[in-house]
Amino acid sequence: MSNDDQADSHKTSRDKDDPKHDSKHKPKHIVHIDDIKAEVRKKTQTAAEAEGMSIEKYEQVEKAIEEGRDGDYTDEEREAVEKIQESFDAETLAQFQRVILKPWLQTYVANDMFESQTSSIVQNFKKNFAPQKSWNTIQSSFASNFSKNLPAGVAFSAETLRAIRNFTAPNQEFLKSTPSLMHTFDRMRETLQGYARAAQIAGFATNTQEFLTTDAALRYRWNRPVWHYTNGHALLSIIRNGKLWASSPENLNDSSEMTHGFDVITEAFRNKMEEAKNDPDYDPDKRSTVETVLSEVLNKGYFDSIINDVYYISASAEHDSLTLWRNYADGDGFAIGIDTTVELSAEGNAVDEAKDGEHIRADVPLISGWYRVSYKKREKQKLAQEFIKSAIADIGKTAVRDRSDLEQELRKQAIILASVMKHEAFKDEREVRWITTNFTTFDSVHYEHGRRSIVPVLHVMTSSAEGDQPLPLKGLRCSPIPNDSIVRTMQGMLKQGGYIQASSNVRKSQQPFKG
């Protein structure tokens, strides 16, 4: 996973004698934080019990994970907690998307609002949340801050006003659905910005875009770092230069990179067309159109050529994997914790598809983001079937004159999907990968010596319009091979390199592996 081995409880007590907390004295429509927390804990308890875990044990494991106390829980307990939390996150996102009307976002995308303004809105929202303790006040605060942060000269349309009223209406279920309220607001910002980016592009393939953007099995949206395993030589290069290497699929350890996923998607397409032929109620003209468009999208010649412009950074959701230490340690292995909420790009160039169109290659789709890798046959087939289903829906609502644009967008999504399907033999890696393409007109490909030979790579940095920024490192794990002094050494190296936060999160592996 080295890309060629480049060098306490939620429970809150309340004073029952305080009339402010007496339900009889609560103003109508006001929801107190205590009530939300109690409801969240009840929901968490139900989910924990379904996983064979008490709520107390769940909270102990959750806290241990947050504090990096790896030895205080088993792998099974960690997986159960992560499963529960991710299901809550997925539910939160789905509910949030239902209360947001896209026309509202699209009204202001044209005025270039969200990239610069949304973050400050959410920060104000957070600041006002804790002291006010009422949804009515939060609602008013959000609406007020939203208005204050609008670009000068932007007027509210009737459609936008209806959308804002829809969003700011009391929605208790939205808050109840996640155990981490502050994390919810981070997800709000991410969702707003995601919709804004989507609205900047022509409205093609909206079904497949929504599927590939929100499906919990695909996009990595967890607030914990992913871990990039590499050797000591590469780690020094990363810290000194502030760059990661993204490698071509053809130079990774899986000889079927991308081609395996392409085959799974193609099989799902063929099966769907066979079903359509045997369905007497299926419109033959519609089937013919779908077959023509998707045959072009899934053209093998195109995929064979585009693989040369696709690049990955491989990481893992597992910070102390015996399998990965064996494969990548080389006697002095390290796992670098990367914050996936920070945007990366080749050379750190912040390229906006709407503003910098002249710097975007027409023959290569713009792709950039962290995705989970799927290994199980049934899971991969399900993803492929969902993609084909979504694509058919998009084809049915796209005008003939726009089909070439639709094909281009569907190809982009097919590349992403093919990139996240790997053979089951690699399942122990629990891979999360950053996928990008060489989509700019700049010559961003470098040639470096990897483990076996000279290979093409992209130098990936924190994306910034203001110049070089440090990599978003959250911590470091050391392989079990060196002695314990390696922790102090790595802490000093990270501090000297300017990675102060990461230096406070350095641990040595607990695996019984000595190389």
Mark whether 180 and 325 lie in a shared domain: no
pLDDT tens digits, 100-151:
444 434 333 333 344 444 444 444 444 444 333 333 444 444 444 444 444 3
Mark whether 324 and 408 lie in a shared domain: yes
pLDDT tens digits, 317-343:
999 999 999 887 667 899 999 999 888
Mark whether 501 and 451 lie in a shared domain: yes
CB 382 within 8 A of CB 232: no
Give the chain's domain count. Answer: 2
CB 391 within 8 A of CB 294: yes
CB 448 within 8 A of CB 245: yes
Mark whether 264 and 390 lie in a shared domain: yes
Q: Which of 166, 200, 234 is the last residue of a domain?
A: 200
Tell me whether residue 425 is in a domain: yes
Amino acid at site 249: P
pLDDT of residue 1: 62
Mark whether 330 and 188 lie in a shared domain: no
Tell me whether residue 206 is in a domain: no
Tell me whether residue 216 is in a domain: no
Mark whether 156 and 233 lie in a shared domain: no
pLDDT tens digits, 344-400:
999 888 776 656 667 788 888 888 889 999 999 999 999 999 999 999 988 988 878
Tell me whether residue 63 is in a domain: yes
Q: Which residue has the tokens 């909206």?
A: 206
Mean pLDDT of 6-32: 39
Tell me whether residue 3 is in a domain: no
Backbone angles phi, psi at 254, to 5 degrees: -100, 115
Mark whether 264 and 338 lie in a shared domain: yes
- Separation of alpha carbons 257 and 245, rounded Å: 17
pLDDT of residue 164: 45
- Separation of alpha carbons 374 and 378, rounded Å: 10
- By DSSP bridging, strand 368-372 and strand 431-437 are antiparallel
Per-residue pLDDT band at 88 (split at 50, 70, 90): low
Tell me whether residue 208 is in a domain: no
- By DSSP bridging, strand 344-346 and strand 368-372 are unpaired
Mark whether 79 and 181 lie in a shared domain: yes
Token pair of 323 as six digits? 């399998």
pLDDT of residue 148: 44
Tell me whether residue 213 is in a domain: no
Q: Look at residue 207 and tell me whether its pLDDT is greater than 80.
A: no
Mark whether 189 and 255 lie in a shared domain: no
pLDDT of residue 445: 93
Q: How many CB atoms lie under 10 A from the CB of residue 412?
A: 23
Domain containing 400: what range?
Answer: 226-311+318-508
Mark whether 293 and 431 lie in a shared domain: yes
Mark whether 186 and 237 lie in a shared domain: no
pLDDT of residue 98: 45
Mean pLDDT of 465-475: 81
pLDDT of residue 277: 85
Tell me whether residue 215 is in a domain: no
pLDDT of residue 85: 76
Mark whether 38 and 88 lie in a shared domain: yes
Q: Which of 182, 200, 218 is the last residue of a domain?
A: 200
Q: Which of 147, 166, 200 is the last residue of a domain?
A: 200
